[in-house]
Chain A
Amino acid sequence: MFRMILFTQWKWSRLVIALSAVAAFALPVLSVERFGRADVSRWEVQEMLTSIQAWGVLYPVLAAALALLVAALAWSPDHRSRHVYALSLPVPRWHYVLLRLGAGAILLAGPVLALWAGALVATTAATIPPGLHAYPTTLALRFALAVLVAYGVIFAVSSGTARTAGYVLGALGALIAFEVLAAAAEVNVHILGPVLLRLFVWPGPLEVFTGRWMLIDV
């Protein structure tokens, strides 16, 4: 049963998985490409860190995009048929949702492993100045966590009906609109800021996306 769920999800999202795996492998390799040369000693350590940090912005972006597409693709065929087929299968609804969630999570392992491999290749190929250290496994684990968190959130939203997704997006839109109107009216009410803080600052669930994503650091 799970094998067939995994198969269908692979079929629907293989292009996204393949492209993400290539991007995930390439990102760490490209981020240290300049530092593999023999004259690396001439580079300032600070410049290397700045460059790595600049490339690091792309990891959470890739994680979020990958999670978004895989979660959406897990449900789009069922949405199109108004879930009639899924609901007529002889499994409880929660079981079916878990099967789809699990299948997506397994597929996400591909790009995560690609990033880990890319990070290992990159740190082996690069000349790392004294005082700096490579963190390929930490980076890959962080990427895996970010992908899984984003996938979980987006999967939960997209597993519901279009109406549910509409409510979630509507609530977000209303929050932003309220904030803008409050600012325009010079009313000192802030809702969005504290909400974002709750989400993105520890122990918020999206904290993993913030901060510096460094393949090489002190």
Chain B
Amino acid sequence: MSHAIEVRELHYRAGKTFEIRDFALSVPTGSLYGFLGPNGSGKTTTIRLLLGLLRPLGGRIAVLGGEVPRDIPRILARTGYVPEQPHLYPTVTVAEAMRFHAAFYTTWDWPWADDLTRQFQLDRDSRLGQLSKGEMGKLEMLLALAQRPELLVLDEPTDGLDPVVRRDVLAALLDYVSQQNATVFISSHLVHELERICDWVGVMDRGRLVAELPMQSFKNGIKRLRVANPPALPGDTPFVLLARETANGALETWTVRGWQAPMGQYFEGVGASLREVIDLDLEEGFVELLRTFREPRS
């Protein structure tokens, strides 16, 4: 499997409190990769490192086959980027912002840019400083898409947008991905949004990658189990035990990752009995994952 983004042993420090250390990430080419994490977990910093906007202290970053920062102009020419905060010049108009952006990208697609302008109902003569948050979000997405990138890096692109605008922006994104086999790396703390569109997920917290796996495995693999007569020491489990809590008396609730039905045999082997397997949705799984990461089982 080839990777549009590959990060190994990344090390970066900002100030005295925040650090990314031993960070590794692999984004398969053509995937829709959801980059999940709570606010302040380091998602935006990681994205800025990927795009060469920040310099790491160590490690290796490869994007679209090029090394960061050595090949960064070539990488950026093939990458559409929507940052977390609006970054465009507020004094120019929508039409001028499009012309400015187009001047830097040989792959810029004017007919499609015009289509998106109409689709997003953007007034070409409006100054960017006068645009609403939703309109600015649409324009940022328009600029990223109309350059026809091989890789889209979207940093919380729908954060703070109303549901209608969010739907428009995501629809345009999915439309593009269906036309072109582009890779999308999208960060968000809105778990349900990513659940609908992504096929891979990476979870980041406190500067570390907590988990990285196909979305289906993530959704199916995290379960809550009701276990009667559980062993004091779980021993060598065939799944990853994230947390165990006493429910009542001899009944315990186990949160596990990597669960598959045949693994129920494990409980018979240790003298316990599995009473119930509860599916967790992505958000619950995400919360459990972070909880375990922050309070590791002793």
**A positions within 8 Å CB-CB of B:** 1, 3-4, 7-8, 11-12, 77, 80-82, 84-85, 87-92
Contact between B52 and A87, CB atoms less than 8 A apart: yes
Q: Do the beta carbons of A77 and B81 come within 8 Å of each other?
A: no
On chain B, which size bracket covers the interface? 20 to 34
User: A7 touches which one: B76, B90, B100 (CB < 8 A)?
Assistant: B100
Is residue B91 within 8 Å, beta carbon to beta carbon, of the partner chain? yes
Identify which of residues 83-120 in chain B touch chain A, using a CB-to-CB cut-off of 8 Å: 83, 85-92, 96, 99-100, 103-105
Q: Is B53 part of the binding interface, using a Cβ–Cβ cutoff of 8 Å?
A: yes
- B86, B91, B104: the one within 8 Å of A91 (CB): B104
Residues in A neighbouring B170, C-beta threshold 8 A: none
Q: Is the CB of A81 within 8 A of B100?
A: no
Contact (Cβ within 8 A) B83 A1: no
Q: State which of A84, A85, A91 has its C-beta within 8 Å of the C-beta of B73.
A: A91
- With A4-B99, A84-B53 known to touch, is A90 a contact of B73 (CB < 8 Å)? yes
Q: How far is the CB of B77 from chain A (nearest CB, A)?
A: 4
The answer for the CA separation of A80 and B87 in the assembled complex, in Å, is 8
- The answer for the CA separation of A181 and B81 in the assembled complex, in Å, is 52
The 9 closest A-B pairs by CB, nearest first: A90-B77, A90-B76, A84-B87, A4-B103, A85-B87, A81-B87, A4-B100, A1-B103, A77-B89
How many Å lie between the Cα of A81 and that of B72 in the bound state? 20
In the complex, residue of chain B having the shortest beta-carbon distance to the beta carbon of A81: B87
B-side contacts of A91, CB under 8 Å: 73, 104
Q: Are A8 and B74 within 8 A (Cβ)?
A: no
Given contacts A3-B103, A4-B103, A7-B96, A12 and B91 within 8 Å (CB-CB): yes
Cβ–Cβ < 8 Å partners of B77 in chain A: 90
Contact indicator A90/B105 (Cβ below 8 Å): yes
Q: Is the CB of A81 within 8 A of B51?
A: no
Kindly list chain B residues whose C-beta atoms are within 8 Å of the C-beta of A89.
76, 104
CB distance from B94 to the nearest CB of A (A): 14
B76, B87, B103: residue with the most chain A Cβ atoms closer than 10 Å? B87
Residues on A with C-beta less than 8 A from B87 are: 81-82, 84-85, 88
Residue from the set A11, A81, A84 with the largest chain B CB neighbour count within 10 Å: A84
Residues in chain A near residue B72, CB distance under 8 A = 92
Task: Tell me the complex Cα distance, A81–B90, Å.
Answer: 10
A85 to B72, CA, bound (A): 14
**B91 partner, pick from A3, A11, A82, A88, beta carbons under 8 A:** A11
